[in-house]
Amino acid sequence: MSDIFRALADPTRRKVLELLRQRPMTAGELAGHFPVSRPTMSAHFTVLREADLIDSLKIGTTITYQLKLSVLEDALLGFARLFAAGAREPATDAAERIKPEQISRGAAE
Amino acid sequence: MSDIFRALADPTRRKVLELLRQRPMTAGELAGHFPVSRPTMSAHFTVLREADLIDSLKIGTTITYQLKLSVLEDALLGFARLFAAGAREPATDAAERIKPEQISRGAAE
DNA sequence: CATCTATTTAGTCAATCATCGAAATAGTTC
DNA sequence: GAACTATTTCGATGATTGACTAAATAGATG
């Protein structure tokens, strides 16, 4: 779980996943979309692979990466559901809810 | 977006959010649930606050933290939707899909 | 087989992170 | 106002991260 969120914390890696959403792509093709070196991209692929978010297929000297969409969805939706289920409605439980005017350190400061 | 995923990448911080899902709690009360020092917990609260995932209310010397559920939901579901929408069904598009037996480096290795 | 291409590994560096103990801040209480 | 409580800020430390260049691996092609 930590691995997945850590993988998603980097904009380059999120963009890689977005690119792979459309179709599998080779390491070189993916790297062409970013202004960083190949070794750096390779490290990003490793992080994504260790989070089980992508699969790889080696054909000759070329490696094709593929998004594991179900892993991503299961993780995100599963975690989101953990919070949606059993949570009170935002409008109710006014007594326990902190009112915006009372916030001393938050978006206001 | 990166801030939110980075905040979620730490198990302690995820657990804090889970605790706050039930009701607002003070810094000390939250800290009591974890085997780390108060300064460390304070740092975690700062990360969560910077990700806009919690609000804080200071009453006297006590600070109460509250989950910003809508921020969390909007981020997670919004990102998940980005991948669900427009994605092809896993069962179709067999030609572009890498078959499990072909995987050279992934879950198999 | 020498060379070219695709990608990774190795080694390094600066920046960030999680953690701690000590000290500071701020409110409460006697 | 001295002492106590709640929490943060400060300063230090070891681990991890994202980046790079250089070198290694491995397959393809002349």
Q: What is the pLDDT of residues A24-35, one digit of tens each?
A: 999 999 999 999
Residues β-bridged to residue B56: A105, B65
Is A48 within a domain? yes
pLDDT attached to residue B61: 94
> Is B102 inside a domain boundary?
no
| Nearest-CA residue relative to C1' of D25 | A61
pLDDT of residue A88: 47
B102 CB near a chain A CB, below 8 Å? yes
pLDDT of residue B6: 97
Q: What is the pLDDT of residue B106?
A: 34
Cβ pairs bridging A and B (under 8 Å):
120
**Cα dihedral A75/A50/A41/A68 (nearest 10):** -40
pLDDT of residue A100: 44
CA-to-C1' distance for A32 and D30, Å? 27
Question: What domain range includes position B39?
Answer: 2-71
Show the beta-strand stretches assigned E in chain A: 25-26, 54-59, 62-67
Where b means 16+ CB within 10 Å and e means fewer, A38-75 reads eeebeebbebbbebbbbbbbeeeeebbbbbbbebbeeb
**A-chain residues within 8 Å CB-CB of B1?**
11, 14
Pairwise pLDDT comparison (A39 vs B84), residue with the higher score: A39
A91 assigned to some structural domain: no
Give the pLDDT confidence score for residue B53 in this predicted structure.
Answer: 98
For nucleotide C25, the protein residue with its alpha carbon nearest to C1' is B61
In a domain, B95, yes or no: no
pLDDT of residue B37: 97
**Residues of B in Cβ contact (< 8 Å) with A98:** 24, 55, 57, 64, 66
Task: Supply the pLDDT for residue B77.
Answer: 81
pLDDT computed for residue A85 by the predictor = 63
Residue–nucleotide distance: A61 CA to D27 C1' (Å): 5
Nucleotide showing the shortest C1' distance to residue A6 CA: D17
What the block records as the tokens of B107 is: 């879950």
> Residues A42-101: pLDDT tens digits?
999 999 999 999 999 999 999 999 999 999 988 998 898 788 765 544 444 443 455 443
The answer to whether A14 and A8 have CB atoms below 8 angstroms apart is yes
- For residue A101, what pLDDT is reported? 38
pLDDT in the model for residue B86: 59
In a domain, B50, yes or no: yes
Instruction: Provide the domain count of chain B.
Output: 1
The verdict on residue A56 lying in a domain is yes
Residue B87 in domain: no
Asked if pLDDT for residue A11 goes beyond 70, the answer is: yes
Greater confidence (A23 vs B105) lies with A23
B36 class by beta-carbon count within 10 Å (0-12 exposed, 13-18 middle, 19+ buried): exposed
| Residues lower than pLDDT 50 in chain B | 88-96, 99-109
Are A104 and B58 a contacting pair at CB < 8 A?
A: yes
- Strand C atom within 7 Å of A92 CB: no
| Contact call for A98 and B1, based on CB within 8 A | no
Describe the strand order of the beta sheet including B25-26 as a list of residue ranges. Answer: B25-26, B62-67, B54-59
Residue A21 lies in a domain: yes
Residue B56's CATH number? 1.10.10.10
